[in-house]
Structure formats: C-alpha cells, structure tokens
Amino acid sequence: MWFFARDPVRDFPFELSPEAPEGSPPGPWVLHRGRKKATGSLVSIFVYDVKPGAEEQTQVAKAAFKRLKTLRHPNILAYIDGLETEKCLHVVTEAVTPLGMYLKARVDAGGLKEQELSWGLHQIVKALSFLVNDCNLIHNNVCMAAVFVDRAGEWKLGGLDYMYSAQGNGGGPPRKGIPELEQYDPPELTDNSGRAVREKWSADMWRLGCLIWEVFNGPLPRATALRNPGKIPKSLVPHYCELVGANPKVRPNPARFLQNCQAPGGFMNNRFVETNLFLEEIQIKEPAEKQKFFQELSKSLDSFPEDFCRHKVLPQLLTAFEFGNAGAVVLTPLFKVGKFLSAEEYQQKIIPVVVKMFSSTDRAMRIRLLQQMEQFIQYLDEPTVNTQIFPHVVHGFLDTNPAIREQTVKSMLLLAPKLNEANLNVELMKHFARLQAKDEQGPIRCNTTVCLGKIGSYLSASTRHRVLTSAFSRATKDPFAPSRVAGVLGFAATHNFYSMNDCAHKILPVLCGLTVDPEKSVRDQAFKAIRSFLSKLESVSEDPTQLAEVEKDVHAASSPGMGGAAASWAGWAVTGVSSLTSKFIRAHPMATQAETNVPQRPMPEGHPAPAPTPLSATSTTSDRWETQEDKDTTEDSSTADRWDDEDWGSLEQEAESVLAQQDDWSTRGQASIAGQVSPPENNSPESDWSNWEAEGSWEQGWQEPSSPEPPPEGTRLASEYNWGGPESNDKGDPFAALSVRSSTQPRPESDSWGEDNWEGLETESRQVKAELARKKREDRRREMEAKRAEKKAAKGPMKLGARKLD
C-alpha cells in the first residue's frame, strides 16, 4: 500500500493571487496579494523561499515570523495566519500596500493632504513608542520599506526582521548585510565613543527622521541630504531637526515626540488626528461626548479621505447605532459616508440599518430619515418599501408634530414610484384626503396638494378620475392662499389626464371662480391655466381628429415617465413650498388657532364609512360646497363615486353658527373643519373609497368648489365661448342662471378683490336650509319632552330608593 504525503501549501486556507508580486522591499520577503479560499476576502501574503547557503537570512526570516506572530498592536502589521515548511515561509497579514507604492499612486491622483501624512506619521511613532517603552524592543529597521498602508489609509509598521531586545539578553543587533537598509543607520553606530551616551530609542528616532524626510522629499540619496529639510512643513521642522541631530542623547523619546507635535499649532494638531484619536477610544467615551462628536463629524467628512470614511468611520457609525444607542445623530454622517460606497456595498451595510431605523419611535430619527430619504431611496427595492418601510412611514401622517407630517408628505414624492397598487391608490390617498381636509396647518394642506399633482402619473386611471379633479377643486377653496395656487398648478401639471368634457364642465368653472380671488398670485395662475385649457379645447374644436391624441393619457395606466414632464410643464417644485411651510409653521404658530382647538380624532383604518342619508343632502353644510362636478358625477357615475352623500355626523347643528359668523375665507374654513370631527353614526360597506370619506374625503372639506360661487361678472364671459353647439344638458347652463340671478340681486358698491361678495347667490338657499333645520330640531325637542312627560305621568311620583330608568 502506497501512502502519499499531503502538500501543506495546497492545504493552506489561503492562496496567492495569480498577479505579479505587489512588491519586493529590501530584505528576504516578497509581498504577494492573496485571498482566503473559504470567503474570498483579500489578504497580503509575505513569502520567503528557503535557499541553500542562506542560513543567516533564513534565521532572520524565522525570527521575523515569530515576532509578527506574537506582537499585537493597532499600529503594527496584523498577523492572520502562517505556514512554515522546509522550502518556504508564508506569513498572512491584513491586506496592505507598501508605503512607497501608496505614496506614488496618491501623487499621481493629486497627492496626499498634509493631515493624512500627519496621521500616518503619528501611527508609526506610536508603534515605536509601544515597542521601546512597553516591550523594550528596538525595531532597528525603520524606513520606507518597513511601513505599509491598509485599505483605510492607516499606516502599519512592519519589517520586524532585524528587531532585538533593548535589554541585551538576546544578543546585539543582527547584521543586515543589505546596503539599501544600512544607509538609514545613525552615525554613532560607526563611532564607538558614542555608544555609551545614547538612549535605547536613539537609533530608531534617527531612522524616523529619515522616514519623515523621504515621505516629503522622496528617496533619500545620501545621509548628508538630511541637513536640508526640503518640503517638510515648517511646523514639523523643529521636531525633525531634533531627530537627525548629531547628539543621540538629545533625540526625544517617541512618546515625547508625539506630545511636542500635538501641542497647539503643532504638525499633528488638526481635526483629522483628533477624529482618529476619538474613534480609537470611542468605546470608553461618555454618551454626551459621543453625541457631540457625531454632530460635528459630518462637517469634517468632506475634507477627509474617501478610503478613511469608508473603512474606518463607517464601521464605527454602524457600531454606534447598533450597540451604542447613538440615535438620530449618526444619520447625517452615515448617509454622507454612504455616497462613497458602491451599490452592492450600500445594500449590504446601509440598507439593513435604514430599515431598522424606520421602525424606531424616536421622532428625531424619523424626521432625519424623511429629510434625507433622497440619499438612499434609489437603493431600496419595491418589496422592502411596501412591507418594511411604508407601514412605518404612514404613521407620520397622524403625528401631532407638524414638521413630521410635512416631511412625511414630501417623502411620498420619492416613495410613490415604488409603492404597490394598494398602498398607492388606497392607503396613501386615504391619508392625503385626511390631510387636505382636516389638517390645521395650511402649509401642510398646500404641500399635500403639490405632492398629489407630482405623483398623479403614478396613480391608476380610476384613481385619477376619482381623486384629481375633486382634490384640486377643493384646494382652490382653501383659506390658505398658497394652497389655492397649488390647486391651480395641480390642474395644470395633470392637464393630460382630463377629458375635454371634464375640462369644459368641471375644471374651467372652478378656475374661472379664481379670477376674482383676493390674492393676485392666485389670479395670475388661474388666468394662465384657463388660457392653457382653452387652447386645448379650441385646438380640438378646430380639428376634432385630435381628440384621441389629446385624451390618450386619460385612461392610460400609471406611467412613471409622465411625472417629471407634468411637473416641469407646470413649473412648480415642492422644495419652494417646503421652505414656505416651515416659515409659516414657525413664524405663525397661532395663525390656525381656531382649527387647532378642534380635536383631531383619526378614524381607525378599515372602519366602515357612514351610510349616506337624505338628511345630509338637504341640511348639511357640505352641500353648499357641492360643485358642478358633483352634480355631473351623481348622474353619470356609479354610486361608489358619491363623495358628497356621506353622513358626516350631526352637521345640521352647524348651519346657524356658520351663518352667524362673518362670511370670509377663514371663518368658512374653520366652520367646515368643526363639522368634520363629528363622529359618524351609521356604517356602510359602500366601497373601498368609503374608508377615505370616513376620515376626510376629497369631496368634503373646508371650501368645496361650487358652481354658484364665481362672481356674476366673471361667469358671463363663459357664455361668449363657442363650444361647438348648444348644450344638451337637462340641468341647463349654470353660468346663465347666475347671470339672471345677478340682475335681481343688489350689486355691491365696491369691486374690491379683498371683499367676499361672491356668495350672495347662495344666501337665500342656505337661510332656508338653516330655517328647516331649526324647525326640525324644535319639533324633535317638543316630541321628546312630550314623551318624557307621558312616561312620568304613567309612573307617578318616584319613591325613595327607586331607580330612574329614563
């Protein structure tokens, strides 16, 4: 039976890269790139081939193997694994690059900053201090070839081949026999008289001076070149001169050299070194210190090297969030560092943390996430958004903090393209309806309208038909002027989603009413939109064959590509409104006091909507905001579209109080909101859209657009247009009716934009409704009193201890 010896190199868990060796520094070792067979992680492998007749070099290599294996320090090359055979030595370390190659590559790319060099030298001096002061070891080989740089830009001290003990118990320094290394030896080594007065660190500090000269000036040609500092920074020159002084006794200890360089104004006294020192000790820092550090870190990251941010700052940020309870303060630097990552790295390192952050109840973290969503939204896939992020984000719509509600609305611009059918067309529209109808902050209502116009292209055709016209029409009656502007711009941005019939009968009547708005900005936008819609109608009237082309998007499925085009066509941007929102919320906290006094009682999701009742059609205040669109809808569409048929509670009691108040924008807005919070009494499983109306529908709110609303002088102009034929509508021309009515009504003496003189047409009908409601309540009260009297008469006087049942 034959037995074959196993090859230890073949069984070694690491393998050399097929590429050429990365470097052959002076000495016995050759540096190769390699990787771990099991994981593929990159490593560096130092290889020494045993050659006959080179026993001295082999002993030096074995001694270096042993030293590297036993020495552990953050600034010394990290040992991972090793292999020793009769033919070779393999030493596996962290993936590094020789300092000479690293500096050359960085110079070709634009050069290293002074702060990077200061931190690199700080690390080498700190490693020497550890060896001399803590281990009583003399490195004996400090030079460019003995320094390596890892992927984070950290400098590591290697080249331990010629190390010896400072106590002399291991013999004197080994002979190098390599001229390239011997040129770094200090002059006292050739002067026997100077050995008695030198310190144990004197030789290594001389070599450190040579290293500093080479870092700034290139390879050292001869020892006499050290007299000229060259490009060494002025703040470092005095300390450098101490290192290369002829008297070895004057050369400072490595620890004192660090102190001198870190003094105020010193070479190593800068933000980059301070940041690194804090990160090295972050585990023992107080929570308050960590908070302050992370708050200031994001300002400095722009000036820090990219590799340093990716491989040193990022792991510390992730650790601080996972185990250090750092909270929202890590978000800003975390996303800033994330810009340096590839898409794959971002998915692996950042996204899991982001998903976990969204489930946090910390308000500061939630608002930071919403504000910075644009930095990571492109890395989120649709399943993650719909199942792990959106369910947490929607809670922001119900938050009592206006800033969180505002940021939640704006975040929908980024989330909408990734939402599924149910979340986008049902859940999101339900929350938008509530905000536009009930939110006490006018700027938030404005942003809701703006956002709806921007995401309109992502909605399904049926949702667009039900929501857009109603929502924008209601926005045009908002007491907050920017909301009215947003309503007009919403119509303009989504113009391609309306049929010509809707443009003529639903949209233009609403826009015409805004031509006499008290705010000039609203009037200007209204005129622009009217001209745009009229031009479309006129072009189709001139050439009816264009109708199919003009209405091609009306029934089209959701198209992400149309969102940007619509928004740019309207010339609006949510960023401008967002700044306006913040200003209004901060500067006018009492502007909506009347609305904030109304308790906000959000309806639980899935709660059935109130059943439509005849009472709401005759006596509720929402009826006086019924638009021409609503009249058309009740005749032409299914019962699922009956937005105004919902019973919003006992709204009849509000009619008289509304009439008793001044008939201006603000009063009407407050009165409508006061009516919305009445609890529904009846339930009806009408349709999925009924859930919206239970919490604020698109067709009911502060100021519903109404066909009698526009001023008479404005509506007369509509009849001057030739629409291609007589109207075949049983309801007649609403504009003509208004014209006739206006002739019998007393005309106001003033034509001021700021006066609300447009609603005289409805005053009589509203008074009649209010009178009917009052009579009904009186009849009901008398009926209840009669019943109570009848019960008391039948029972007789109550006895002591008897229980009153009624």
Euclidean distance between the first and the last CA atom of the chain, given in angstroms as a whole number: 107
The pLDDT confidence band at residue 740, using thresholds 50, 70 and 90, is very low
Lowest mean pLDDT among 198-212, 450-464, 791-805: 791-805
In contact, 386 and 415? CB cutoff 8 Å:
no
Element counts in the chain: helices (H) and strands (E): 39, 10
Q: Are strands 96-98 and 147-150 parallel, antiparallel or unpaired?
A: antiparallel
Q: What is the mean pLDDT of residues 684-710?
A: 37
598, burial (CB in 10 Å: exposed 0-12, middle 13-18, buried 19+): middle
Instruction: Return all residues near 94 (Cβ < 8 A) that are at least 6 apart.
Output: 43, 44, 77, 78, 80, 150, 156
Q: CB-side exposure of 236: number of CA atoms within 13 Å?
A: 25
Comparing CA positions, the residue from 501, 500, 530 lying closest to residue 515 is: 530
Comparing CA positions, the residue from 517, 455, 446, 457 lying closest to residue 486 is: 446
Helix (H, G, I), strand (E, B) or coil at 15: strand
Lowest mean pLDDT among 39-48, 172-181, 398-407, 767-776: 172-181
State yes or no: pLDDT of 343 exceeds 50: yes
Q: What is the mean pLDDT of the chain?
A: 74
Lowest mean pLDDT among 89-103, 181-195, 440-454: 181-195
CA distance 246 to 187: 8
Helix (H, G, I), strand (E, B) or coil at 91: strand
Q: pLDDT for 573-592, tens place per residue?
A: 333 334 444 444 443 433 33
The pLDDT confidence band at residue 209, using thresholds 50, 70 and 90, is very high
| DSSP, res 609 | B
Q: What is the mean pLDDT of residues 174-186?
A: 79
pLDDT at 590: 36
pLDDT at 154: 93
Q: What is the mean pLDDT of residues 719-747?
A: 39
Q: What is the mean pLDDT of residues 368-374?
A: 89
CA angle 303, 309, 313 (to 5 degrees): 120
pLDDT at 198: 76
User: Which residue would you say has higher pLDDT here, 361 or 742?
Assistant: 361
Distances (CA, A) of 87 to 44, 190, 324, 405: 20, 37, 49, 71
DSSP E strand boundaries for 162-294: 164-165
The 10 Å Cβ neighbour count of residue 728 is 5
Q: CB-side exposure of 355: number of CA atoms within 13 Å?
A: 17
Q: What is the mean pLDDT of residues 715-729?
A: 39
